[in-house]
Every structure is written in structure tokens, then in C-alpha cells.
Amino acid sequence: MISKIPVAILGSTGAVGQRLVSLLFDHPWFEPVLLCASERSAGRSYAEAADWFLPETLPAKAAAMTVAGCTPDLRVPLVFSALDADAAAKAEAEWARAGILVVSNTRCYRMDATVPLVIPEVNGDHLALLRNRVWPGRGGIVTNPNCSTIGLVLALKPLFDAFGIQAVQAVTMQAASGAGYPGVPAIDLIDNIVPYIGGEEDKLETEPLKILGRYQAGASGEPGSIQPASLPISASCYRVPVLDGHSLAVSLRLGRKAKPEDIIAAWQEFRGQTAGLDLPSAPQRPLLYLSAPNRPQPRLDRLTGGGMTVCIGRLRPCPVLDWKFAVLSHNTIRGAAGGTILLAELCVRQGYLK
Amino acid sequence: MISKIPVAILGSTGAVGQRLVSLLFDHPWFEPVLLCASERSAGRSYAEAADWFLPETLPAKAAAMTVAGCTPDLRVPLVFSALDADAAAKAEAEWARAGILVVSNTRCYRMDATVPLVIPEVNGDHLALLRNRVWPGRGGIVTNPNCSTIGLVLALKPLFDAFGIQAVQAVTMQAASGAGYPGVPAIDLIDNIVPYIGGEEDKLETEPLKILGRYQAGASGEPGSIQPASLPISASCYRVPVLDGHSLAVSLRLGRKAKPEDIIAAWQEFRGQTAGLDLPSAPQRPLLYLSAPNRPQPRLDRLTGGGMTVCIGRLRPCPVLDWKFAVLSHNTIRGAAGGTILLAELCVRQGYLK
Amino acid sequence: MISKIPVAILGSTGAVGQRLVSLLFDHPWFEPVLLCASERSAGRSYAEAADWFLPETLPAKAAAMTVAGCTPDLRVPLVFSALDADAAAKAEAEWARAGILVVSNTRCYRMDATVPLVIPEVNGDHLALLRNRVWPGRGGIVTNPNCSTIGLVLALKPLFDAFGIQAVQAVTMQAASGAGYPGVPAIDLIDNIVPYIGGEEDKLETEPLKILGRYQAGASGEPGSIQPASLPISASCYRVPVLDGHSLAVSLRLGRKAKPEDIIAAWQEFRGQTAGLDLPSAPQRPLLYLSAPNRPQPRLDRLTGGGMTVCIGRLRPCPVLDWKFAVLSHNTIRGAAGGTILLAELCVRQGYLK
Amino acid sequence: MISKIPVAILGSTGAVGQRLVSLLFDHPWFEPVLLCASERSAGRSYAEAADWFLPETLPAKAAAMTVAGCTPDLRVPLVFSALDADAAAKAEAEWARAGILVVSNTRCYRMDATVPLVIPEVNGDHLALLRNRVWPGRGGIVTNPNCSTIGLVLALKPLFDAFGIQAVQAVTMQAASGAGYPGVPAIDLIDNIVPYIGGEEDKLETEPLKILGRYQAGASGEPGSIQPASLPISASCYRVPVLDGHSLAVSLRLGRKAKPEDIIAAWQEFRGQTAGLDLPSAPQRPLLYLSAPNRPQPRLDRLTGGGMTVCIGRLRPCPVLDWKFAVLSHNTIRGAAGGTILLAELCVRQGYLK
């Protein structure tokens, strides 16, 4: 790959946008040439417009760039979107209609039947939906799932394939950064947890079904579609005083008997649909099972595989369903910016970027 | 009640012991005359021996008392035990054998078939086990359940009675004070949660069955016994950076169909076996259902009813079992010291103190 | 006092406003009849308009009241203001001009030469400025100092009177609630402190001089004025992950030699200008010196005297100035709502309410 | 440097010991061949003996090593000590007497007149004390200062040299990891700070004087000595709920007038005595001045320069002394393990390892 692909970032000053900036400015394939944000920020330097709050240094190149508005710009064939849902619906459609591939971290189009909702290792093949060409020109939208969905589905996928899954219970304990910046007030998370995150449980109960679903090619010339998986998922979402790293307590019923060593082997051996594709952001292993009795923990394990590896631990029988275990994934890397970049890499590798 | 009942407190310098001291020194029925602790503390003033860490003021009378050792002392007919499990097995048996009623917050004897494990509102009638007189003299041991068990069982009891319960899933998010003092290191709870509490899940999966069980009187002269309830409970226990207040995310399957308003009514109307007994530590209502979508929260709701009322919220259908909801109870008041005192009050009211 | 004085609360839905509501609804002298807030909230019930976030129960009477706008209402002779500074300048002047006594927690008029800035125990006599009648009618404005200023000045006052003070260094570690609600984002206070609070250091370096100043009556008919104290104060303000309770590390140089026991005695014996006035919100003692080496601590000591007593500890020689010590005061009770109410009580007692 | 220098680590399982293990296992000069700890741990694998609590992965080589006791072992010419002070006094002397160079992070020998107390950039020349040969053989002890001292002295040194310093006031807000593991109980740091750290203020008031002192060679054959600096330092030490990173609010009086730009330039240009030595652990710059008004912050800035750069911000006039500013240093990297390694590198470079 001789020259890098010029890309834009929508919503570049927000929490996920900052992570995108942090990860993309020395990416081997992509080169951010446009940092876009709301009209309020447009025209200012990125250093001024963004209230940079990551410990990683703001890349000097980014700092000096002038923030652009969110109007489609044909200099880029690919745009990352980290817009708020309110702004995203209109903007993302505009960029797509302009013939640009939108790789989005926003919820707007995730459940749209014509839009792929993809975790590369799990259902990279769903990108075939892009061939539907429902968007004029060559543009299109690809979406990255909710930050909690990603950890859950990655942990489920090997078991889904090997044993079948009949039911899933998940209680999440989600990090503050999942709410963006400013996000949750400190007053709500000092000596406290909050048993509610608006809209989150619904996402966690529906998105996995689409992701675990099956792509069916359309009849001659007809667009393909996704046949969703069919299993009940019950989610309860809590906010906890953790900076990064969503924890999930998961119980499930399998389709057939499994021994614990087989379940662990399924996780440890899982490489998924990115195997062999040599994508720059793909971790060596998407999943890592930790045998220590008190792991995974957010502070200790969230940066495994550069924040792209989901950690699992504490597999043990569930007296109500079959098995229970603990899952941890980094919500702003694997669950947002990093996941979105990996998805864009997959689009490039699979030839969806024209 | 003209003169107060003299009582002793075992383990008076620890986390639960301090709460007992805080609550008992102006109790209308009891008067602490002995503050007992390990040999290391014995002989020192309570003010010196206890590293008092409650915001409530250390009662002046307590401060000035000389800490005693844990040898049975016949000046008291009743002793509260907040000893560590290691020390408790031997000490509690000695006090009981000496003819003293031991009301214990420790786990040692909870699952002993001859010892009542009691939440006064739920199964005060189990105190009848005390009549077994397995302990020489008139002594005996009565136990208070684990701090997480209490909130769970209080929330389950009205549904258990009204609709039957076939299965329970509970994920706990437990406060630091549940581990005593010093307990959990700060390093483990800054920007972190811990997905493991040694022994806790087992307690939560077994104690409720005994508490929800049925007392059966023995045949002529034979001791009575508890027929435990039969239902699978699955618990996953996490430690979170909260000072006081255990949160539980509960899902359950009922024995028969119920409308949400009937479930809520069952909770709101629940008064239990302490109704009409006029016990000083009994809250006006053992349960309170909060209708706000983001409640109960530890910081806001744990002191409801002086910390003796368990708060419930977020009742909604569970796609896997039938219903799910959030529970909160104060772990060192209702779940430990306050619960133990209420239990002692019930023993007195029911005539078990001779 | 047969019937209560009807009062209004401006900014009643905010952080300080909620504390005012919590404290005023069973106040022996005052009866809130108007809960005012911005136009956005006006017309809704208080329960809806306020996102109540105190552990204390929202008073039922308040919950049911309809929130009013901020236009002066002559049904009340006294109004408490907890408005944001932006809104306060205009609104408070309007209420005062309408002939109503405004007792304000806002910074707008604190340094206005014609407006009293008062800590009742310290400089209640400064209320005499109200006689200036610069406001048409009988209205006027009285202000409560900044939340950090109050703890500092209460600790300084007895030493100022007994020994003189020549210089003060203060580093504050301020609670999140001092920034109101939503206030500081959780992301900024998880595993973090912030070495900056906009405008705070300036307030702490100037307000004490006015409060410690001397009231000078005007020549015949002329208005009186405050002759400010003259001493350098250096403040450095940090935000820390504490819910309530501002901590201060103070060093100072005294005007003349003092023995530590004399300093402590000055604090312990201090009663100030409210002594003998029998004000309902006045704590038994404005100051309490704690001898334990690791006190005062926010969680343990902030509610001393119902949150109205300032705690001091760790008096020891300062190698650079003369003495150093630790101060703690409850920022939303003594430092805001409670202090404002005490100030209103003083106004009533001294006859400034006509 | 062809082959690496074999080294031992005393106290390898503790908080600082783990950092040493983390940093030394791919160090270009040193190769840990002995991981030593108390008798309790000796004989077990390091993976078992250490309750590894760093987010960085435990190096596989370390994990597999068998923990040794603390008896001197002549296979190594250099030993790092992270022992508790209790154990260190005897053990360090034994290793030194055995002819081994001890580079210690422990406080025991810091103020010993014959032992160098060194921050490489500040007073590397004090290593000349090692030539005193008070220890039999070629062994010796070199000490790293207290974790708070290091940040303070690095910030002071350029001003001390350029302008002179006449007095220093420092209030520290120290991270939990400074107390080791388990260290501070979570209960003490949830919704709380603690205004006391045993022994800490004394260290901060005395160690800097030795470090800023002047080495004076002895008369013919006589040992050299350190002439300590003479200036009053006043320290107040607080513990705050931060994981890593000690913050200091510093005020000082300079020996002569300075403009703010000159002070900042002194910091920005400071390279110190390690300049040109090409030590592997030396950061590009020991000091970094941040111009943003709300920096440095622990979470955002502690890892600057790999945790070896001390960050400074908020320079502004002090109404009492001359200037005040904020300092941040990583307490377990620059302030402990990293600082100790840099010190060992300097010893090697200066030829003190025979």
C-alpha cells in the first residue's frame, strides 16, 4: 500500500472522536485529512476546539488542523463517524449519498435492514449488504455495534457456533467514558452506581441478534438480507465509577451439553473472520480467557491486545441456565474507536472502498 | 420495660461491631455493658482499641469502657456477635453453652440445621428451632443472614408467597464496607471493580433456601426442623467502589402469571411477621418500590427507613425468565448490625430470652 | 413567633436550591411559599422540574408545588437566592428594588461596597450596611461568602482577634458538589484531581478581607462602610473526588507569639456574634478542634453540628510561617444553604426584616 | 555493552518491587537473575508469590522464576531494594557488606551522612560519597528519595540554581499506590481524603536539603561529606483517591527577583547532570511546563516521558511568598522504581560498579 487513504472524521472533538484521532494519526493505511465537528467548532484549530482529555498526547498534526464542518467532502473516499445520534442521521446519509463510505460508531442505522452491523471477527461477511447499493453512487454506511454489544457478542460467538445458544442473561457494569464527555456527573458516581442507562438495554437485547444472524444473498439481482438469530437476551445495564472498560456478568443456556474445558477452548482458539487478513488493528487474539479467580478487572485487563482483546474469566456452572462467566471489553477502543477502525480496514481489505 | 437488658458485644471493634455500638448505645431495650474483642484489644479503652470510622459520633459511654476479652460472662443474658468467622465458631458456642443467647452476624452456624437463620419479617417463626435446646442450659444461637442474602430474600418473600418462585438470577454489586475494615485495598477500587468475592456466591445460593423454608414441629418431644425451599438461585458477586449499600440486579421466574401492578402491590403491602410487634428497630415498611427509572441508587436510597428498608425499582419483563428488577439494601445496617438488633428484639418479644 | 415568615427560593432546582428546600421545609421561622426557577422549569411541579439528588427525602409539600418564574413577588418579605451568577445580577436587584430582602448565596454582589458579606458568627455587625438604603424601598441584598471562604474565615477569626494574622497560605481540596449539578464530569474525577477551579482563588484571596474588616458608621446621615482587613492571602484551589466537604491545608503567620494550647483554646471557646441569639440554624459550636492525628476527614467529620460546625485538626508549627493546620467545612450546608439560612435568621433577629 | 549485568531485586513482590520487575525485564543493561522476597514467599514461583496488580503484563520470564530469600548472593554485583523499612536496615547492610552495590528505594539510610541520597539529574555528583568506602569490600548503598521529595526537588532545582530559594511551602495530594499494597483501605478513600501520612512531612522537609546540598571532598584521604542546603520547607501531606501520581501545590520565595518567563525557561531548559550520559531510563526532559490552565492532572499527565518527566503548571504570583505552581510526578515510576533504575544506571556510567 504505497500511499495512504485520505479519511475524514465526523464528530472528531467528542469522546470517541478523540480516540479516533489518537489511533488514526499514525495508522499505516489511513491518513486523516479532515477533522469535522459541529458548526460551533468549525474554523478553530483542533487543539482549541477539542477539550483533549486522553492521557495519550494529542498528535501535533491533528492539533494544528483547522476543524471543518460536516458537509460531505469528496476529497475523501472514507469517513469515520462519531457523531451524536441526533446529528448523525442526516449527516451520515449525506456523506453516503455523496458516494463516500461511512464507517459509523453511531446507533442511527445499526438496525436498518439495508445497513451492515458488523464485528469483523464475527460477521465480516455481512458487509455483502453493501452490494445492495441502496445508496446512490458508490457510497454506503457500515455500522459498529454498541460498546456493550461488542464484548458480549465476541464472547458468545464461539459458543454460538460450537454449541448453540438458547438464552442469555447479561448484567453490565459500564464505564463512565461510555457516556461521552462531559457525560455522567461526578456527583452521580462518587460512592454510587446508577442502575439505568437510557436505551442501552434495548440495544443489548437486539443488536446481537442481527450480528449473529445469517446473510442470505438475494435472488437474481435482488438485494441480500440478514436473517437474525433467534434467542432471548435479557440485559440489565448499570453505570459504575470506572473510567474505561465495560464489565458483563453473563449467564447462558447452550444448545447442547458442553464441558468447561471445551468452552474455554472455543474461546481460546477463536480467531474469527479476520484470521489471515492481516488487518493492522486486529489483535493477535480477539478473546482471552483468564484463569485467575478474580479476573478480568477493568483496570488490570482492559488494555489487553491494545484494548482490542475481550477478556473472559470465571466460567462456572449456572444453577438456573447452564453456564456463567465474566466478560470485560474496553468500551472506547474495542467498543468504539478501535472497533470502527478495524471495521474500516475490513471494508478496504474486502474491496468495498472504490 | 422498666430496666434495660444488659448485653455484650463480641467483636465490638470491627466494622459491624462499630455499627452495633453506634446503634445500641441509645437502644430503648438493650444496654451494652461489655464490649468484647480479641486479646490484643482487651484491657484498653474502647476509644483506643477501636479505630472508629463511622461518621456518627462514638458514644461517650462506649469510648470510656474498658474492652473485655471474649470469655462468656454471665452478667448478660444476651450477646451480639460480630466476630470474624475464625474466632466465632468456638466463642459463640462457649457463650451459648454458658446459657446465654447469642445473636450472631457471623456465618459459622447459619446453615447448622439446629440453628435458626432468620430475617424477622420473613421467617421469625423459625426461632422455634431454639426450643430444640441442643445447647445445654438456656443458651442458644440465632443467626442473621449474609448481607446480600437479606436484601434479596426480603424482595423475594412477598412474590414467593403470592406467586411462587421457580428460579432466581442475581448479580450483586457490593459495597466496600461489606468486607469490613481494612477490607478491600483502595488500589483495587479506584477506577476498578472486582468480579469476585470469596465464598459470597455460595452463601447467596444457599441461605435463601433455608430462610424461605418451612418450620416443621418435631413429633412429640423431638426437635423441630426446617424444610428448605426448593428453587435454583444463581449468584454472581462483584465488589464496586461504593461505601455502603449492596445493589442487586435480579431476574426471576414466577410460579404463575402476575401483572406488574400486582408484583409492585405485593412489595408495597408487605409487612411480614414483625407486623404489630412494635419492635424498636423495625422500619415502618420493610420494602419500598421506587418508580423513578434510575432508582434505587446506593448514595440516595440506602438510608431509607433508617437503613432498614430495602428499596426496589425498575420492575420490567425479563426476556429469559419472567421479570427483572433492581434491589438495594444497606449492608451494614439492614444487612448486618441493624438486622441483628432487630432479630434480638424479636427473640425478646417472642420470649426466647429467659 | 406565632406564624411563619413566607419566603421564596430563587434557583430552587439547582444544587444549592435543593439543599435550601431540604432545610427550609420544616424550619421553625420560615415557610417557603414560592419555589422559583428558570422559565424552562416554571409551570411544572417541583418534583418534575428538580432532578432531586439528595439522600434526604424531597419534602412532600415541596414536591407538589408548582415552580414559579423569577419575577419579584410581593407576597414574601424575604427571598433566598441560589441562582447562577449569570441570572442573579439582574434578578436579585429586581427583588431588592421591589422592597424584598434578598439573602443570596451568589457571588454577584459580594464585593459590592454597599452590600454586606456576612458569616453570622464572624461579622454579623456588618449587616448595619443594610441601613444604607441604597435600594429603593425597604429591600436589600445580603450575601453569604464563597463555600471555601466560610471555612477558612471561621477558622481564622478567633486567631485574628486573639493574636492578629499577618499572612495566610491556603490550599483547598474541594468537593464535587461545590460545582453544582451536573457540575464536574465523572471522567475528570475518577483516578484524578484537578488543580484548577475557575475564579475560586480570587474569591478566597479577597472575600476574607472584607469579612474580617471593620464596619465604620457614616458621618451624620452618610452611609457606613467596611474597612477591609489588610493581610496577604494566597490560595491554591484543587477539585478532588469527594462528594461534600471542602478540606483546606492552612499555614499562617500570627501577629504575636502564641502557644499551641492557646490557639486551640481560641478555637474551642469561639462562639462569635451569634452567641445568645438562639438562632435555629446556629450550631452549638461554630468550631471544633479534633485531636486525632488524621482528622478532620470529609466523610467522617463534615456533618458535625448538622454540617454547620467547621472542624480543625493537626495544629503544628510551620517552618516557613508560624503554624499550620487542617480545616474541613461542609460546602453545601455551612458553605451554602445552611449558611444562607443562618444569615437570614440573623437578619430577622436583628430586625432587618420589615 | 555486550552482556547484561546480572541483578537481584529485594522486596520483589511488593508494590515497588512489581514496578521494578515490570521495568527491568527488558532493560538494555540489567538482567534480573534473582527475585528476592520474605521467607514466606521464598521457594514459590514469582507468579504465585506476587499478587501482580499492574496493568502491564507480568513478564513470562519473571513469572517462572523461583523467589529467593534475602540473603546476599555474590552472583550479582548490583541489587535493587524495595524492601519495607523494617526489613531493609539489616538486609541492605548485609548485601553492602558482602561487596554488592545496593540501590535502594527504602528510607532507612537516606539521611545517613555516609550514604548518597540522589536524584540523578539533580545531584549525581553526590555519588562521590561512595568513595568513602565505609562499607567493607567494594559494596555500598545508594538511596533514592521519598516519592514526594523527587517531584518537589526536580521542580525546585533549576530555580535553586538560577535564582536561589529562601523558603518553600508544599501541600501534597498523594496517590494510593504510594502506600504500597494493600496500603490504604478503600473505605478511607471513597468519598474521602485523609489529611495525614505518617512520617511523610518530615521526609519532605529534610530530604530536599541533603539533595540540594553541596558535596565537599575530604581532606587528604578523609571521606567527603554533604553540606546541606539551608532553607525552611513546610510540608502538609494528604492522601487522595488517585491511583498513581502525586500532586503538589508549591509556593516559594526566591533569592532574587525573577520574571515568570525566566522561571518557565529555567524549567523547560533544565537537563541536569544526566545530560549527555545517554542513560536508558532518563527521559528526554526531566521537567515539562504545561501552559493549559488546568494542568497537570494525574490521569492525563503522569505518564509523560514514560512516567519519568515531572510536569509543572499554573505558575502565578503568590501573595505571601513570591510564586506558586502545581507539580505532578508519577510516584511509582519517577518516584520509586524508575527513579531507582535511573540511579543504578548513573552508578554504572560513573564507574561505581566494579
Q: Which residues of C are designated catalytic?
A: 147, 246
Of D233, D247, D313, the CB nearest to C193: D247
What does the pLDDT look like over D101-117, one tens digit per residue? 999 999 999 999 999 99
Spell out the alpha helix ranges (H) of B172-325: 186-189, 200-211, 260-269, 298-301
Q: Which residues on A lie below 8 Å from C300 (Cβ)?
A: none
Q: Which residue of A has its CA nearest to D51?
A: A292
Q: Tens of pLDDT along A147-171?
A: 999 999 999 999 999 999 999 999 9
Residues of C with CB under 8 A from a CB of A: 53, 176-177, 181-191, 241-243
Cis? peptide before D182, omega within 30° of 0: yes
Of all residues in chain C, the one with the smallest CA distance to A242 is C190
By Cβ distance, the residue of A183, A187, A191 closest to C187 is A183
Instruction: Give the residue from C104, C117, C246 showing the smallest Cα distance to C175.
Output: C246
Q: Using one digit for the tens of pLDDT, what is the confidence trace for A289-343?
A: 999 999 999 999 999 999 999 999 999 999 999 999 999 999 999 999 999 999 9
The whole-number pLDDT of residue B42 equals 93
Q: Rounded mean pLDDT of chain D? A: 95
- pLDDT for the residue numbered A133: 64
Residues C49, C154 share a domain: no
C230 — pLDDT class (breaks 50, 70, 90): very high
**Residue C347 to chain D, least CA–CA distance (Å):** 34
Looking at residue B283, what is its pLDDT? Answer: 98
Cα–Cα distance between C96 and C142 in angstroms, integer?
10
Residue D23 lies in a domain: yes
Q: So what's the pLDDT on residue A32?
A: 98
Dihedral class, residue C112 (left if φ above 0, else alpha if ψ from -120 to 50, else beta): beta
Task: Pick the residue from chain B with its C-alpha nearest to C188.
Answer: B191
Do residue D299 and residue A243 have CB atoms under 8 angstroms apart?
A: yes
* Whether residue A156 sits in one domain with residue A137: no
**Is the distance from CB of A331 to CB of A148 less than 8 angstroms?**
yes
User: Do the Cβ atoms of C54 and B300 come within 8 Å?
Assistant: yes
Place of cell 425451599: B229
D287 Cβ contact list (under 8 Å, min separation 6): D154, D155, D158, D267, D268, D270, D309, D310, D311, D312
HSE, CB side, 13 Å, CA atoms: give it for residue C295. 18
Closest A-chain CA to C239: A186
Band of residue B131 on the pLDDT scale cut at 50, 70, 90? confident
The answer to whether residue C135 scores a pLDDT higher than 70 is: no
Residue of B166, B171, B295, B329 to mutate when probing chain A, most A C-beta within 10 A: B171
Other chains touching D, judged by 3 or more CB pairs under 8 Å: A, B, C
Interface of D with C (CB under 8 A): 167-169, 171, 173, 188, 190-196, 205, 232-234, 236, 238, 240-243, 247, 249, 251, 293-300, 313-314, 318-321, 324, 326
Q: D126 catalytic, yes or no? A: no
D300 contacts A54? CB cut-off 8 A = yes
Catalytic choice (B27, B126, B246, B330)? B246
What digits encode the pLDDT tens for the residues D31-55? 999 999 999 999 999 999 998 989 9
Whether B354 is covered by a domain: the verdict is no
Answer yes or no: do B298 and A240 touch at CB < 8 A.
Answer: no
Provide mean pLDDT across the span B263-277.
97
Which of C53, C191, C303 is the closest to B300 by Cβ? Answer: C53
Q: Is residue A290 part of a domain?
A: yes
Q: What is the pLDDT of residue B133?
A: 64
For residues A90 and A163, state if they share a domain: no
Is A133 inside a domain boundary? yes
pLDDT at B295: 97
In this structure, the answer to whether residues B163 and B309 fall within a common structural domain is yes
pLDDT value at B136 more than 60? no
Domain count, chain A: 2
Q: Across the interface, do B171 and A297 touch by the CB < 8 Å criterion?
A: no
Residue D354 domain flag: no
- Are the Cβ atoms of A186 and C191 closer than 8 angstroms? no
Residue A345 in any domain: the answer is: yes
Distance from CA of A189 to the nearest CA of D (A): 10
Minimal CA–CA distance to A109: which of A127, A94, A88, A95?
A88
How many residue pairs from chains B and D have C-beta atoms closer than 8 A?
A: 59
Strands D78-81, B101-104: parallel, antiparallel or unpaired by DSSP? unpaired
Instruction: Show residues of chain B in contact with C301, CB under 8 Å.
Output: 55
CA trace torsion C199, C200, C203, C208 (10° rounding): -170
Same domain, yes or no, for D142 and D160?
Answer: no
Cα distance between residue A275 and residue A270, in whole Å? 9
pLDDT at residue C53, rounded to an integer: 86
Which chain C residues are within 8 Å of D190, Cβ to Cβ?
Answer: 299
Residues in C closer than 8 angstroms to B301, CB to CB, are: 55
ipTM of the complex model: 0.95
pLDDT band with cut points at 50, 70 and 90 for residue B246: very high
Is the pLDDT assigned to residue C111 strictly greater than 70? yes
Compare CB distances from B314 to A171, A196, A299 and report the shortest one's residue: A196
- Spans of chain A below 50 pLDDT: 1
Residues of B in contact with C303 (CB under 8 A): 55
Of the candidates D55, D300, D302, the beta carbon closest to that of A300 is on: D55
**Whether C185 and A185 lie within 8 Å, measured CB to CB:** yes
Q: Are residues D62 and D113 in the same domain?
A: yes
Q: What is the mean pLDDT of residues C230-236?
A: 98
Domain presence at residue B44: yes
Mean pLDDT of C38-60: 93
CA distances from D305 to C23, D274, D285, D330 (A): 50, 15, 7, 10
- Of the listed ranges B215-219, C140-144, D318-322, the least confidently predicted one is B215-219
How far is it, in rounded angstroms, from Cα C276 to Cα B42? 45
CATH code, domain with A173: 3.30.360.10
Residues A274 and A291 in one domain: yes
CB-CB neighbors (< 8 A) of B176 in chain D = 185-187, 190
Annotate A23-84 with DSSP letters as a single string: HHTT-SSEEEEEEB--TTTTTSBHHHHS----SSPPPHHHHHSBPB-SS--TT-SEEEE---
The reply to whether C182 and C325 lie within a common domain is: yes
Does B297 sit within 8 Å of A193, measured CB to CB? Answer: yes
- What is the count of residue pairs from A and D with beta carbons less than 8 Å apart? 20
Q: Name all chains with 3 or more CB-CB pairs below 8 Å to chain B.
A: A, C, D
Q: State the nearest Cα–Cα gap between D191 and chain B, in angstroms.
A: 8
Note whether D187 contacts B53, CB cutoff 8 Å: yes
Q: Do B300 and C190 touch (CB under 8 A)?
A: no
Give tens-digit pLDDT for B107-127.
999 999 999 999 999 999 999
What is residue A297's predicted lDDT score, i.e. its pLDDT?
98
pLDDT digits (tens, 9 = 90+) for D114-166: 999 999 999 999 999 988 766 655 689 999 999 999 999 999 999 999 999 99
Residues C133 and C154 in one domain: no
- Nearest-angstrom CA–CA distance, C314 and C327: 9
Helix (H) or strand (E) holding D247: strand D246-254
Q: What is the pLDDT of residue C136?
A: 57
Contact residues, chain A, for D55 at CB < 8 Å: 299-303
Range of the domain at B319: 147-330
Cβ count near B291 (within 10 Å): 9
- D249 band by pLDDT with thresholds 50, 70 and 90: very high
Report the CATH number at residue B87. 3.40.50.720
Our CA-based measurement puts residue D311 at a distance from the nearest CA of chain A, in whole angstroms, of: 13
- Residue of B232, B234, B239, B322 lying closest to A324 (CA atoms): B234
**Mean predicted confidence (pLDDT) in B48-76:** 94
**Which residue is it, cell 535493587?**
D80
List the catalytic residues of A.
147, 246
Q: What is the mean pLDDT of residues B20-49?
A: 96
Instruction: Indicate whether D55 and D138 sit together in one domain.
Output: yes
**pLDDT (tens digit, 9 = 90+) per residue, C188-209?**
999 999 999 999 999 999 999 9
Contact criterion met (CB < 8 Å) for B55 and C303? yes
CB contact under 8 A, A249 and B205: no
**Of C190, C243, C300, Cβ closest to residue B55:** C300
Which chain B residues contact residue D196 at CB under 8 A? none
Buried b (16+ CB within 10 A) or exposed e, D124-136: bebbbbbebeebe
Same domain? For A167 and A300 the reply is: yes
Distance CA A161, CA A132 (A): 27
Q: In chain A, which residue's Cα lies nearest the Cα of B295?
A: A195
User: B169 and A247 in contact by Cβ < 8 A?
Assistant: no
Q: Cβ contact (<8 Å) for A190 and C185? A: no
Binary contact (C234, D240; C-beta < 8 A): no
Residue C354 lies in a domain: no
Contacting residues of C for D295, CB less than 8 Å apart:
195
Q: Is the pLDDT of residue C157 over 60?
A: yes
Please say if the pLDDT value at position C354 is more than 80: no
Short-list D318, D179, A185, CA closest to C175:
A185
Is residue B135 scored above 70 in pLDDT?
no
Could you tell me the three cell numbers for A329? Answer: 471489553
B304 with B166, same domain: the answer is yes
The answer to whether residues C111 and C210 touch, using CB atoms and an 8 Å cutoff, is: yes
